[in-house]
Amino acid sequence: MNWRGCYTLFVKEIRRFYSVILQTVGAPVITALLYMLVFGQVLQGQTIEGVRAVEFLVPGLMMMSIIQNSFANTSSSITQSKIMGNLVFLLMSPLSAFEIYLAYIAASLVRAVLVAIVLYLVTQFFVSVPIHEPLLMLVMLIFSGGTLAVMGLIAGIVANKFDHLAAFQNFFILPMSFLSGVFYSIQNLPPFWQQLSYFNPFFYMIDGFRHGFFGVGDANPLVSLIVAALFFVAVSAVAITMLSRGYKIRG
């Protein structure tokens, strides 16, 4: 294991998003706050699963920001390197597919955790949100952020330009995240849509994460944890295979 090389790539990715931290961390926090303020006014005085609606929104908005930023970090980095032609330097380095994978995913998790922490701290000025099961919350954050980072890695490998990434995000990531219970409990949906939600892996990410805050959710937290872990392992296997074979990054 080339730990020095892996750490160097990790630091490079950290510096890449830190150089535009207002865009990579500040902007997602402001967007999430706008969602909270708007929906908080609309749902003022209402409760969801025994929790004040405005409090119920916070974990969902945090997870939505984690999902979007984890995906964006790896996908934009790989695609930018392909377009600018400097990906060849990464391929020439003495790094294995797993080491490249590890560095990119770890850097994306740092960005996701940073966004989540800042968003949580800022929301405390508007509403107090407890953390009922911190270990479950942390594990769901890692699995969920890691999964989307891996999916971003896959999208970056497949994409030839930023338009391809935008299509992937607009037609897959955004719909899957918005339709997974960010702003609502699926118990309020008609039976058909409730059953359909159980086939959305993003639902388990958000519901398990929210369970860590309030101790309540639409699904069993153990089921949410297992689904998130299996999904992470599955997409990781795909990404490492693509990197080891040089799919669309060599030639």
For residue range 144-190, list pLDDT tens digits in order: 999 999 999 999 999 888 888 888 888 888 888 888 888 888 888 88
CA 200 to chain centre: 14
Residue 44 lies in a domain: yes
Tell whether 250 is covered by a domain.
Answer: no
33-48 in b/e form (b: 16+ CB < 10 A) is bebbeebbeebeeeeb
Residue 129 in any domain: the answer is yes
CB 8, CB 95: distance < 8 Å? no
Task: Please give the average per-residue pLDDT across 16-26, as a whole number.
Answer: 88
Alpha-carbon gap, residue 229 to 146, rounded angstroms: 10
Beta-carbon contacts of 19 under 8 Å, excluding residues fewer than 6 positions away, are none
In a domain, 71, yes or no: yes
Indicate whether 43 pLDDT > 80. no
- Residue recorded with tokens 């919350």: 137
pLDDT value, residue 83: 85
In sign, the C-alpha dihedral spanning 182, 107, 154, 236 is negative
Domain range for 120: 3-245
**pLDDT at position 195 over 70:** yes
Token pair of 77, please?
């980095």
pLDDT value, residue 119: 92
Structure-model confidence comparison of residues 99 and 125, the more confident one: 99
Residues 102-142 pLDDT 10s: 999 999 999 999 999 999 999 888 888 888 999 999 999 99
Position 92 confidence tier, pLDDT thresholds 50, 70, 90: confident
Structural domain tally of the chain?
1
Residue 182 near residue 218, CB atoms below 8 Å: no
Q: What's the CA gap between 138 and 209, in Å, rounded?
A: 8
Give the confidence band of 251 by pLDDT, cuts at 50, 70, 90.
low
Asked whether 211 and 144 are in contact (CB, 8 A), the reply is no
pTM of structure: 0.91
In this prediction, residue 150 carries a pLDDT of: 96
Q: Residue 128 class from Cβ within 10 Å (0-12 exposed, 13-18 middle, 19+ buried)?
A: exposed
Examine residue 251 and state whether it is found in any structural domain, yes or no: no
User: In this structure, what token pair is assigned to residue 10?
Assistant: 């990790």
Helices (H), ranges, the chain: 3-18, 21, 27-42, 53-84, 87-92, 97-123, 134-158, 162-168, 174-178, 191-197, 201-214, 221-245
pLDDT at 204 over 70: yes
User: Which tokens sit at 155?
Assistant: 């999208």
Checking 47-52 for CB contacts under 8 A at 24+ apart, the result is 48/184, 48/185, 48/188, 49/185, 49/187, 49/214, 49/216, 49/217, 49/218, 50/216, 51/214, 51/216, 52/127
pLDDT of residue 194: 85
In-domain check, residue 13: yes
More confident residue, 111 or 53: 111
In a domain, 75, yes or no: yes
The answer to the question of residue 45 being in a domain is yes
Q: Kindly state the average pLDDT of the residues 19-38.
A: 87
Tell me the pLDDT of the chain averaged across its residues: 89
